[in-house]
A and B are shown apart, each in its own frame.
Chain A
């Protein structure tokens, strides 16, 4: 038996959560939370290539918060299996030998549950190395679930034990701290986003949002591309400071985006009549939305130059006006998780591990909570930007 946080099915609670969305403290302390701390059976690692992992640190991701607060799209309900233990940003220790990795190895995990993990013939996505595009995430010998952390059979990082497949695991180099290692999963996502953004040398980039996703995307863009000016939209003082440290050329407040981008790119700024939102003629070559809100997506679509590229890196909340996509012939592209084979020929995790080793990431994990303090932990993560924190993590061994 083990202690874990469990997300369980409750349509009524899902709706209640939606109703109070945005007011997370009220929701977490009330009875509406679809999350509970329970003692449950440990997941089993009986098949070849599977091993047990004891998490050390386990991060709280925006998608986890979305799930708890009910703002996540119902789109997802077909690709998860309730009840499940959330947590897909982990650094942990192998409790079993796992093929070439001996027990005791510290590992990080690519959470996508691909054909390889499910023991089925590789789909087109998997065989081409685009493992994040796997089409078989609901079949095979593992319960449905797009990722570890959304799957009933594997357990997740917010519990004392989970199981993972060798194809998901990467050994952490000696000397890299747990605090850095726990960032490798989100960094891999940022590596993927930066490479998918296909930024050409000297091109201007806007990153909307300076939470973990936006900050890491900024870092990856600066490190892996020859982007020219990178402008980051940041609300809070600490975010501004970090955005600059991670390679932003300019930082603008949300209400300064149009002014800032217009100035830095020499674009024209137009204000339609009847209160319709303004937009630019000209603008950045590439924009990355790292928020997912309607406002943020509306903004990036309106400040990208004709023929430019918009990368949706945060889960879109919907409701955005797509007329600029049509009128400006924008290329809109999504980025989800990360791939085994990125455009640079490497697994995103390898690049991310390398980045995690040298980037200025000290202090990025700004708070650690034991599992039984989950209400405070989620509340803190929800207000992280305002509180000057980038990443909140569960200290699973202290639980």
Chain B
């Protein structure tokens, strides 16, 4: 039986606690009285996944069963979440593969032969053929990919975009032409955190820059509190408005799946246990792993981590109309992630792990590390941030000067050129965003290579703007001094030093909360 999330107060018997630190982890002794927020243990998984899928497709919410929506001669498009989900990637078979196979089987029975599959990657990088294969599975890949019927969405392919109109706030809704002109658009989602799914799937995943810029900007993103709460997120409000327009034009059959917290298995299982419950075996594998990582050359260490594939159990699958389906999804996600936390604290501490949504099979560069800590984890709350207004955030990550030229070419320039000028989101948006968004070289690399769109680092930076605005101090423990300073933060070599550095704003005995993730948690701060 799984146990709910848990808040521990550090006392003199508490052992050192595990902190994720890029491609490695460390054991840290926290000051007495520190609140440690543990994520809930993995919820029990659905036993018969195929049966659950069938059930969702045949008994959808506010919609005809899928077979009734399928007929010979129709155009069917299946869009699915890209590689940024789930984190880390999932062991085979991917849940998307199973859902897509089930949908295709029903389509075949109905005689549908005009089918295309689109990775809804918006401005994310294209997936390689291998990455597509990992998601949809060998059979689907072989049947569709060679004919060009399984492909990445291309937000810069103007000939293949359709402008569906404006929202009541005047926002452009421009999406994939194929999706817009389909008789039915089936969206296959994987919901790992509360930010995903709902109207975000289609009206963001299949949208162009022209459409995305209405909500992916510093103003909207700073006022999205938080992204994990679609009712309090301005970005989501905009996506929901766009969804209204989109669904007037296109029939969408939304399929959302939710996963449990079973992330680290095998020798890394200790990573998701509570330290004082580590068995002798857990302690041995922790020490062994730590030693092996310390001895491994950087390349090997990188490989060890990028090769991690998670078990994940399915906790639910719902299909039908977008909004009621998403309500069910959010319930399931909350059941897995919510931990009740009483009141805000002066200091929040977070370890930034090796993988985030934008560096799967790649490198976590300084901007992505900042985004992971101050975008994702800082925003992992409902109600209020874990840290009080003008409080301090302390993060762990090496923040090495390391960029993937293949995946993040505009990030290097953003880091060297834009951040050298200013770290203020509104300033850099006004001065640089358009230039980067329209840079023909970045567009070329986005369309033909495996690069994130030129504007993507701006979105990462806007995403942390709520944290920048809210926090008085942001300090990285063990972070590369040069990269940390370029981003406008400070670095400390130890937690003690970091606490010393923030003491002028939070005092010498601040209240401290350590968010012990991953696995994921959503702090419900009362």
Same complex: yes
* Of A259, A260, A263, most B-chain CB atoms within 10 Å: A263
Give A260 to B417 CA distance when docked, in angstroms: 8
Q: B413 touching A259 by the CB < 8 A rule?
A: yes
Give A266 to B444 CA distance when docked, in angstroms: 11
Q: A256 touching B441 by the CB < 8 A rule?
A: no
B331 within 8 A of A: no
Chain B nearest CB from A278 CB (Å) reads 11
A267 within 8 A of B: yes
Q: A263 touching B417 by the CB < 8 A rule?
A: yes
Q: B416 touching A262 by the CB < 8 A rule?
A: no
A268 within 8 A of B: yes
Q: B441 touching A259 by the CB < 8 A rule?
A: no
Give A256 to B440 CA distance when docked, in angstroms: 19
Chain A contacts with B in 239-289, Cβ cutoff 8 A: 256, 259-260, 262-263, 266-269
Which residues of B have CB within 8 Å of A266?
439-441
Q: Please give the number of chain A residues whose Cβ is less than 8 angstroms from any Cβ of chain B in the complex.
A: 9
Report whether over half of chain B's contact residues are helix, strand or loop; otherwise say mixed: helix
Q: B412 touching A263 by the CB < 8 A rule?
A: no
Give A59 to B416 CA distance when docked, in angstroms: 37
Which residues of B have CB within 8 Å of A256?
416
Give A268 to B451 CA distance when docked, in angstroms: 14
Chain A nearest CB from B207 CB (Å) reads 24
Q: A263 touching B444 by the CB < 8 A rule?
A: no
Which residues of A have CB within 8 Å of B440?
266, 268
Q: Please give the number of chain B residues whose Cβ is less than 8 angstroms from any Cβ of chain A in the complex.
A: 8
Name the residue of chain B whose CB is nearest to the CB of A270. B441
Q: A268 touching B413 by the CB < 8 A rule?
A: no
Q: A268 touching B416 by the CB < 8 A rule?
A: no
Chain A nearest CB from B157 CB (Å) reads 18
Give A259 to B417 CA distance when docked, in angstroms: 10
Report whether over half of chain A's contact residues are helix, strand or loop; otherwise say mixed: helix
Which residues of A have CB within 8 Å of B441?
262, 266-269
Number of CB contacts from chain A to chain B under 8 A: 17
Chain B, residues 417-434, CB within 8 Å of chain A (1/0): the string is 100000000000000000
Give A359 to B412 CA distance when docked, in angstroms: 36
Give A268 to B449 CA distance when docked, in angstroms: 13
Which residues of B have CB within 8 Å of A267?
441
Chain A nearest CB from B443 CB (Å) reads 10
Give A267 to B442 CA distance when docked, in angstroms: 10
Name the residue of chain B whose CB is nearest to the CB of A268. B441
Give A259 to B410 CA distance when docked, in angstroms: 10
Which residues of B have CB within 8 Å of A269?
441
Give A266 to B413 CA distance when docked, in angstroms: 12
Give A183 to B396 CA distance when docked, in angstroms: 54
Which residues of A have CB within 8 Å of B416?
256, 259
The answer, among B412, B439, B444, for a CB contact under 8 Å with A259, is B412
Chain B nearest CB from A306 CB (Å) reads 15
Q: B417 touching A268 by the CB < 8 A rule?
A: no
Which residues of A have CB within 8 Å of B444?
268
Chain A contacts with B in 43-92, Cβ cutoff 8 A: none
Which residues of B have CB within 8 Å of A260?
417
Chain B nearest CB from A365 CB (Å) reads 31
Chain B nearest CB from A263 CB (Å) reads 5
Chain B contacts with A in 377-394, Cβ cutoff 8 A: none
Name the residue of chain B whose CB is nearest to the CB of A253. B416
Chain B contacts with A in 436-489, Cβ cutoff 8 A: 439-441, 444
Chain A nearest CB from B454 CB (Å) reads 10
Chain A nearest CB from B457 CB (Å) reads 13
Chain B, residues 396-421, CB within 8 Å of chain A (1/0): the string is 00000000000000001100110000
Name the residue of chain B whose CB is nearest to the CB of A259. B413
Give A259 to B413 CA distance when docked, in angstroms: 7
Name the residue of chain B whose CB is nearest to the CB of A269. B441
Give A266 to B454 CA distance when docked, in angstroms: 12
Which residues of A have CB within 8 Å of B412?
259
Chain B, residues 39-82, CB within 8 Å of chain A (1/0): the string is 00000000000000000000000000000000000000000000
Chain B contacts with A in 292-332, Cβ cutoff 8 A: none
Give A266 to B412 CA distance when docked, in angstroms: 15
Which residues of B have CB within 8 Å of A263?
413, 417, 439
Chain B nearest CB from A275 CB (Å) reads 15
Name the residue of chain B whose CB is nearest to the CB of A262. B441
Which residues of B have CB within 8 Å of A268?
440-441, 444
Chain A nearest CB from B405 CB (Å) reads 9
Give A263 to B457 CA distance when docked, in angstroms: 15
Chain A nearest CB from B422 CB (Å) reads 16
Chain A nearest CB from B406 CB (Å) reads 11
Chain A nearest CB from B440 CB (Å) reads 5
Give A259 to B411 CA distance when docked, in angstroms: 12
Give A260 to B441 CA distance when docked, in angstroms: 13
* Of A260, A266, A267, most B-chain CB atoms within 10 Å: A266
Chain A contacts with B in 334-391, Cβ cutoff 8 A: none
Give A268 to B439 CA distance when docked, in angstroms: 9
Give A262 to B444 CA distance when docked, in angstroms: 13
Which residues of B have CB within 8 Å of A262?
441
Give A260 to B418 CA distance when docked, in angstroms: 12
Chain A contacts with B in 137-187, Cβ cutoff 8 A: none
Chain A nearest CB from B351 CB (Å) reads 32
Which residues of A have CB within 8 Å of B417?
260, 263
Give A268 to B417 CA distance when docked, in angstroms: 18
Give A79 to B289 CA distance when docked, in angstroms: 72
Chain B nearest CB from A264 CB (Å) reads 9
Chain A nearest CB from B448 CB (Å) reads 11
Give A339 to B440 CA distance when docked, in angstroms: 42
Name the residue of chain B whose CB is nearest to the CB of A260. B417
Chain B contacts with A in 154-195, Cβ cutoff 8 A: none
Give A256 to B441 CA distance when docked, in angstroms: 16
Chain A nearest CB from B420 CB (Å) reads 11
* Of B412, B416, B440, B441, most A-chain CB atoms within 10 Å: B441
Chain B nearest CB from A290 CB (Å) reads 23
Chain B nearest CB from A279 CB (Å) reads 13
Give A167 to B416 CA distance when docked, in angstroms: 51
Give A250 to B439 CA distance when docked, in angstroms: 18
Chain B nearest CB from A246 CB (Å) reads 21
Name the residue of chain A whose CB is nearest to the CB of B417. A263
Chain B nearest CB from A228 CB (Å) reads 15
Give A259 to B418 CA distance when docked, in angstroms: 13
Name the residue of chain A whose CB is nearest to the CB of B443. A266
Give A301 to B356 CA distance when docked, in angstroms: 40
Chain A, residues 172-212, CB within 8 Å of chain B (1/0): the string is 00000000000000000000000000000000000000000
Give A305 to B93 CA distance when docked, in angstroms: 50
17 pairs from A and B in contact (CB 8 Å cutoff): A256-B416, A259-B412, A259-B413, A259-B416, A260-B417, A262-B441, A263-B413, A263-B417, A263-B439, A266-B439, A266-B440, A266-B441, A267-B441, A268-B440, A268-B441, A268-B444, A269-B441
- B residues with CB within 8 A of A: 412-413, 416-417, 439-441, 444
The 7 closest A-B pairs by CB, nearest first: A268-B441, A266-B440, A263-B413, A266-B439, A262-B441, A259-B413, A268-B444
Q: Using A262-B441, A267-B441 as known contacts, list a sample of 15 further A-B pairs with CB atoms less than 8 Å apart, ordered by residue number in A.
A: A256-B416, A259-B412, A259-B413, A259-B416, A260-B417, A263-B413, A263-B417, A263-B439, A266-B439, A266-B440, A266-B441, A268-B440, A268-B441, A268-B444, A269-B441
